[in-house]
Structure 1
Amino acid sequence: MSSKMEAQSSGNVVQGEITVFGFGKSFLGPCLSPFNLKLQTYLRMTDIKYKPWFTTKMPSKGKIPYIEHNGKIVEDSSFIIQHLNSEYKKDLNAHLTPAEKAIALSFQRLVEDNLYWTLAYQRWLMDDSILDLIPFPNRFATKLFSWYTSLKLRPDLRKNMRGQGIGRHSEEEILKIAKLDLGAIADFLGEKEFFMGSQPSEVDAVIFGFVGLMTFTGSNSVSAKDVKENHPNLVAYVERMKQLYWPDWDKLCIPEGTTSWDEMQQQCG
């Protein structure tokens, strides 16, 4: 069954309403994917109403999250944002100069095309703490997911990281890359309220999606500890973004003690 058909047959797509398909919640956050958190943060920043929906089905490009809007599937969080900017006449970057837009885009690329791989490495290849974030109905389900990550997800990630180039480095070198990237982000942020100044822009959704998710759900990771110990301005920034755009964060997390994936099917935004 296609993702689009799955959505329609589930009765969760309404004409004119945006449905965001992605990986579900966790015990510590409303999204498991930084790209999903980025997209949902953008939607909250622009006051565009949407409905999140948990799925493991991939659309044609194999990109998740994706949206269904007026019967159309749009993949890739950046293309989705471009699509919605056009459809809803939104522009969070309107106040930026061309040079500032170029800087913001450069940091977006740093986060999504470089820092991302170092965070994925820490989440999936350095330890199994990701398993503690997801509710499983029984031990068999836990072992099944662990088996899947070992035989499929991790080998695919290693292959993709090697193709990208970052996977050719040692663990020490990968962690150093993450440290340098986070240091650059913190240095540019400085004491500003938002990443580009006193007003929010699209890059804030990106920074929060990745650094925020890592900070709030990956506290055992080397990079999360680095941010908390060495970059108090970044800690304050992601907390500020959380309070401003996700005041319901804690309510949207899966309650402790839940042992059913049904909770992941509920709305998370």
Structure 2
Amino acid sequence: MWMDLSYFTSESVLIFLIYMKGFQKEQQLDSKDAIILHQFSRPKNGVPSLSPFCLKMETYLRMVDLPYQNYFDGSLSSQGKMPWVEYNYEQVCGNEFIIDFLEEKLGVSLNKSLSAQEQAVARAITTMVEEHLYWTIAYCQWVDNVQETQRMLDLPGPLSDLLKWILCQLTGGIVKREMYCHGIGCFTKEEVYSLMEKDMRTLATLLGDKKYIMGPKLSSVDATVFGHLAQAMWTLPGTRPEQLIKGELINLAMYCERIRKKFWPEWFVDLEDFCYDSDNDTSSGTPTCMLDLGLFSRTDTLEDSDLSLPSHSNTHSQDSDHSGRSLSDSDIEADGSDVEQQVKGEI
């Protein structure tokens, strides 16, 4: 029997989920001289995260070449946000504040080569993407295309299908309510997609034929844009965002693929599906699960120098077996315990 959970309070559903799953003891990590990135569990379609904010933060850490340790415990920050980081027992949430914190503590920066005017433009683009485009993509993920999103979730246990359905129904209800409070939720479906298309066309025009958004060198806005466009590129098969990015706005697709190839070597993508084909059954086949590299560093495989960064003596690259799985996998996952929390953080 169909049941609409959009009117349930998040607290009541979380209590129900905890009751079904039982309490799990989580392994605690020591953040002394180590960056611990708290985020949602990997989906099972090969994409690192269904959250553009989590994907942005992890991509940023790779761009600045800082070793980090993933912790998929699902616990939100004290402000109720995801992702968040710990470093030397300090906790910071909010991507903008995390980046400022890391720049201050570790001296890293992707924006040193930008002029004051270019930094202002980059901030304006970031605001458009995170405060406007984000809501249209979230609507497509959790409301209009929720069945496909549900299939991508990876929750263990005999009740996984039920838990995924409950999570998606609850998340969809929260997205609709928050979109309404934001203002964009007052519009029709066609109007929401029209706004999304305008934002994507704006990004395509700003990018043009450049390598990155602000020119030949990386800047922090690239982590932002990639984190959001990757959702349209790889998590929304057959939808209007995918049609746009793999069709008319192909320069955005090439941009996403360029960043994926450089900073996510373990993220496998079938390049035969690079361009949108309406006759393709994008749901066929078995998706490749994301392999975690634990403490990631690209220092040893850096092909060109985009960054003005200090040297970090504790960076290292992972050794892998013939399957590509890390032989020293240090990523921690608490077996789906983030189900109860995902609906409250950044989606």
For the superposition of Structure 1 and Structure 2, which TM-score range results when normalised by the shorter chain? 0.7 to 0.9
Q: Give the conservation status (yes or no) of the 8 Å contact 1:254–1:264.
A: no
Question: How far 1:254 moved relative to its partner?
Answer: 6.1
Structure 2 CA distance for aligned equivalents of residues 264 and 96 of structure 1: 41
More deviation in 245-254 or 69-78?
245-254
Q: Which residue of structure 2 aligns with residue 198 of structure 1?
A: 216
Counterpart AA for 2:290 = C
Question: How far 1:129 moved relative to its partner?
Answer: 0.7
- The correspondence of residues 25-44 of structure 1 with structure 2, limited to 5 A, is 25-26=42-43, 27-44=45-62
Structure 2 CA distance for aligned equivalents of residues 146 and 105 of structure 1: 37
Q: Which of 144, 153, 173 is residue 134 of structure 1 equivalent to?
A: 153
SS in 2 for 1:226: helix
Structure 2 CA distance for aligned equivalents of residues 149 and 73 of structure 1: 29
More helix by share: 1
Q: Give the conservation status (yes or no) of the 8 Å contact 1:24–1:32.
A: no
Q: Give the conservation status (yes or no) of the 8 Å contact 2:47–2:267.
A: yes
Q: Once the two structures are superposed, what CA deviation does each residue of 1:25-74 show, in whole Å capped at 9, x if it has no partner?
A: 12221222110111111111111110111132222211100011111110
SS in 2 for 1:57: coil
Structure 2: give runs of 5+ residues left out of the alignment: 1-24, 269-287, 293-332, 338-347
Structure 1 CA distance for aligned equivalents of residues 31 and 93 of structure 2: 18
Label 1:16 to 1:90 Cα distance change in 2 as closer, same or farther (>3 A).
Answer: same
Q: Percent identity?
A: 29
Counterpart AA for 1:215 = M
Q: CA RMSD in A?
A: 2.2
Question: How far 1:9 moved relative to its partner?
Answer: 5.5
Q: Once the two structures are superposed, what CA deviation does each residue of 1:196-238 show, in whole Å capped at 9, x if it has no partner?
A: 0011101011111110232122233321221111111111111
- The correspondence of residues 1-269 of structure 1 with structure 2, limited to 5 A, is 10-26=27-43, 27-127=45-145, 128-137=147-156, 140-150=159-169, 152-250=170-268, 253=290
Q: Give the conservation status (yes or no) of the 8 Å contact 1:25–1:264.
A: no
Q: Which residue of structure 2 aligns with residue 4 of structure 1?
A: none
Structure 2 CA distance for aligned equivalents of residues 42 and 34 of structure 1: 12
Q: Once the two structures are superposed, what CA deviation does each residue of 1:163-183 show, in whole Å capped at 9, x if it has no partner?
A: 100000000000000000000
Label 1:142 to 1:222 Cα distance change in 2 as closer, same or farther (>3 A).
Answer: same
SS in 2 for 1:106: helix
- Give the alignment's TM-score, normalised by structure 2: 0.69
- Give the alignment's TM-score, normalised by structure 1: 0.87
Give the 4+ runs in structure 1 shifted more than 6 A: 261-265
Structure 2 CA distance for aligned equivalents of residues 200 and 147 of structure 1: 39
Counterpart AA for 1:135 = D
Structure 2 CA distance for aligned equivalents of residues 21 and 212 of structure 1: 20
Structure 1 CA distance for aligned equivalents of residues 172 and 261 of structure 2: 34
More deviation in 83-92 or 51-60?
51-60
Structure possessing the higher radius of gyration over alpha carbons = 2
Structure 2 CA distance for aligned equivalents of residues 220 and 87 of structure 1: 43
Q: Once the two structures are superposed, what CA deviation does each residue of 1:95-127 show, in whole Å capped at 9, x if it has no partner?
A: 111111111111100100000000000000002
SS in 2 for 1:41: helix
Counterpart AA for 1:157 = V
Q: Once the two structures are superposed, what CA deviation does each residue of 1:151-196 show, in whole Å capped at 9, x if it has no partner?
A: x322221111001000000000000000000000001100001110
Q: Give the conservation status (yes or no) of the 8 Å contact 1:25–1:254.
A: no
Counterpart AA for 1:113 = E
Aligned residues, how many?
A: 253
Structure 1: give runs of 5+ residues left out of the alignment: 1-7, 256-260
Q: Give the conservation status (yes or no) of the 8 Å contact 2:38–2:72.
A: yes
